[in-house]
A and B are shown apart, each in its own frame.
Chain A
C-alpha cells in the first residue's frame, strides 16, 4: 500500500512535467496544424542553457528559469522565421520534413558543440529538500519541477483562453482568412506560438535540470510522452494536455511498480485505447 501510494505521488509529480512539455506541442499543432518533431530538441536546448548557466555562472537551475525560457523562446522564433514559416501552406509532407530536419540538425549540433557526454548539475538547491508525509517520501526536485510545471502550464492556458492576444492567436488558428479581415496577421500569431512553445520548453528544460541530465538525446523520453499526452488530451487543447499529462504520469507510476518493464507500453496502450474509443482525445473538439 505504501509503495502504491508512493508510486501514485511520483506519477503525479512527473506527469505535471509531461504536461508542460506537451503544452508547446499541442499549441503549435492546434493553431498551425504543424507537428513539431524538433520539440524534444527545444527541451534539450533548455536543459543545456540551464546547465551552462550553472557551470559558467554558478546559477542554480531555479534561477536560470528566466534565462532558459527567453533563450529557447528566441530559438523558437528563429526556427519559425528561418525554416518552418517558409513552408507554411505547402504540403503537410514539406512541414513534416522541415521539423524532422530541425530535429536531426539540432541534435547533431548539440553533439558537435557539447559532445555526447551526459551533463548533470550535481547538487541543485532543491535536492536538499525532502518531505515525509506518513510513509510517502517526496523529493524536493520532484516537487519543485511539478509545481513549476503546473504554474507554467496554467500561465499558458490563461494567456490562450483569457487574454485578447491569446484570443487573436486562437482566431488565427480557427480561420486565418477571417482573422486577417479582422486585422490579425496570422503569420505574426504563428510566430507567437513558436515563441510561447519555446518559452514553455525552455522553462521545462531548466526545471528538469533539478533532477535530470542534459545530453543531445535528453529530450527524447519526454517528447515521446508529450506526443502521447497531446493525442490523449486532445490535439490543440492545453487543459486537456495538463489532465492527460497527470493521468499518463500516474499510469506509468503504478505500472512501474507491478510491471516495471512495461511503463512505456502502458502509456502507449492508454493512447491506443483513446484513439479507438475517443479519437478526438479527452478535451479535443475535432
Chain B
C-alpha cells in the first residue's frame, strides 16, 4: 500500500513539474531567450559570477539605448532586425561539473526554449555542454574556454569567440621574438604544467609552437595538481635552466610555485603563464611582492580601455553596475553575448538554424569590439580567426601590458627577478 502511495506521489510530482515547464516555455514570442551556463556555485563560483556580469552588461546594452557607444547594437533599444525585441538571459548553474552542464543544456533548450546557449567558462564543462547542444541542434557560443580540442571536434553548432591556447601561445612566442630582437638571450624554453586536461593540452600546444619557432624545449614537468610540495619539481627545472618557463597552473599551484621559486632562490629569466591561476586576483593579493616579475597571457586588459573609447565606456559601466573592475573573463563573456545578439539580429529570426548560418557569416571588425582583436569571423571549425592575446607582466603589484607594443605603456622587466629588487 505504501509503495502505491509513494509511486502516486512521484507521478503527481512529475506531472506538476512537467506542467511548470510547459507553461513557462509557451507564450513570450516577442523576447529572445538566451541561455547562459556558468559555474555559479562550487569552487569556480567567483569567476562564474564575474563572467555572468559581463554577459548581463551586454544584454543591458542591447536592450537599452546607449547613443554614444560605438558598438553593434549599442545605440537603440533591442534587436532592430526583430522589431526591437529585447534579449532575455536565462542562467543555468553548471556547478563546474561537466555532467551538470550537459543537463542544464537539456533543461534550458527543451524547457525554456532558448534560441542559443552561451557558456561555460571551464573547457571540461564546455566540452560536454556543447555536445548536448549539438545533439539538440541549438547554437552554442563559447566565451572563455581556451582548450584547442574544443574546435577540433567538427561540431556544426559550436562557435568560439575567444582565443585558444594555441592563439595565446603564438602571442607569447611573438613576444619572445620581440625580446630576442631587443637583445635578450633566449636559447631554450621549459614547460611547467598541471597534470590534467588543461595543463597537458597547453603543454602540447607550447611544444608545437616552440618547434615552429625553432626553440628547443629543454624540460617539461607535469606536476600533480594536488601535490602538497613543488620543491622537487622546481629543482628539476632548475637543473635544466631554461631561459623562459611556460606555466599552466590553477591558483593554488601558481601561488605554491612562486613561493617555491623564492625559497629555492631560483628564478628563470622569464616566467610566462597561461592565465588561470596567475590571473586570479588572489594571486597578487596573496603573494604581495613575491608575485612581481611573473608574466601571463591575457585576453583583455584594463589598459586596452585607454586606447579604445568603446572599451572605456563599457569598463566604466561595468564598474558602476557591479562595483568591481571588468576582467578578461567578463570582457570575453560580454563580447560573446554581443556577437551572438548581432548574429540573431542579422538572421532576423530565433530559429536555431538561421542563427547558426548568421554566426557563420558574421564579420565584425576589431574596432567594433572591446577586445585587442582584429575582429570576429568564424572559420569552418567555429573558431574566431580574429582573436588574439596580449602579454602582461606583474610590475609593482599590478599587471601591465608589455606586448604587443602598440597597447603597452611600460617596458618589460627581464630577467624577472629584477622586478623584485
Interface of A toward B, CB cutoff 8 Å: 3, 6-7, 10-11, 13-14, 17-18, 111, 115-120, 122-123, 127, 130, 137, 139-142, 211-213, 215-218, 220-222, 224-225, 249, 252-257, 260-264
B280 contacts A118, CB within 8 Å?
A: yes
Among A6, A115, A262, chain B packs the most CB atoms within 10 A around the CB of A6
C-alpha spacing A53/B285, complex, angstroms: 17
Given the interface contacts A116-B43, A122-B288, does A127 sit within 8 Å of B232 by beta carbon? no
Shortest beta-carbon distance, A17 to chain B, in Å? 7
Interface membership of B17, Cβ < 8 A: no
Question: SS class of chain B's interface: helix, strand, loop or mixed?
Answer: helix
User: What are the interface flags for B253-273 relative to A under an 8 Å C-beta threshold, 1 for contact and 0 otherwise?
Assistant: 001100100111100000000
> Which A residues are CB-close (under 8 A) to B281?
117
Interface membership of B228, Cβ < 8 A: yes
> Which B residues are CB-close (under 8 A) to A255?
232
Question: Can you list 26 A-B pairs, Cβ within 8 angstroms, ordered by A?
Answer: A3-B235, A6-B235, A7-B231, A18-B228, A111-B45, A116-B46, A122-B286, A122-B288, A130-B263, A139-B264, A140-B263, A141-B259, A142-B263, A221-B227, A221-B228, A249-B229, A252-B228, A256-B231, A256-B232, A257-B236, A260-B195, A260-B232, A261-B222, A261-B223, A262-B224, A263-B223
A139 contacts B232, CB within 8 Å?
A: no
Interface membership of B282, Cβ < 8 A: yes
A118 contacts B223, CB within 8 Å?
A: no
Known: A3-B235, A116-B45, A263-B227. 6 other contacts (CB 8 A): A6-B231, A17-B228, A116-B43, A120-B282, A120-B286, A260-B232
Shortest beta-carbon distance, A15 to chain B, in Å? 9
Contact of B232 among A118, A141, A217, A254 (CB under 8 A): A254
> Which A residues are CB-close (under 8 A) to B232?
3, 6-7, 10-11, 252-257, 260
Interface membership of B354, Cβ < 8 A: no
Shortest beta-carbon distance, B201 to chain A, in Å? 14
Given the interface contacts A141-B263, A257-B235, does A252 sit within 8 Å of B287 by beta carbon? no
Interface membership of B233, Cβ < 8 A: yes
Contact count band on B: 35 or more
C-alpha spacing A13/B376, complex, angstroms: 52
User: What are the interface flags for B282-302 relative to A under an 8 Å C-beta threshold, 1 for contact and 0 otherwise?
Assistant: 100111111000000000000
Residue of B nearest to A129 (CB): B263
> Which B residues are CB-close (under 8 A) to A111?
41-43, 45
Contact of A260 among B46, B224, B252, B290 (CB under 8 A): B224
> Which B residues are CB-close (under 8 A) to A127?
259, 262-263
Given the interface contacts A118-B280, A122-B290, A221-B226, does A253 sit within 8 Å of B255 by beta carbon? no
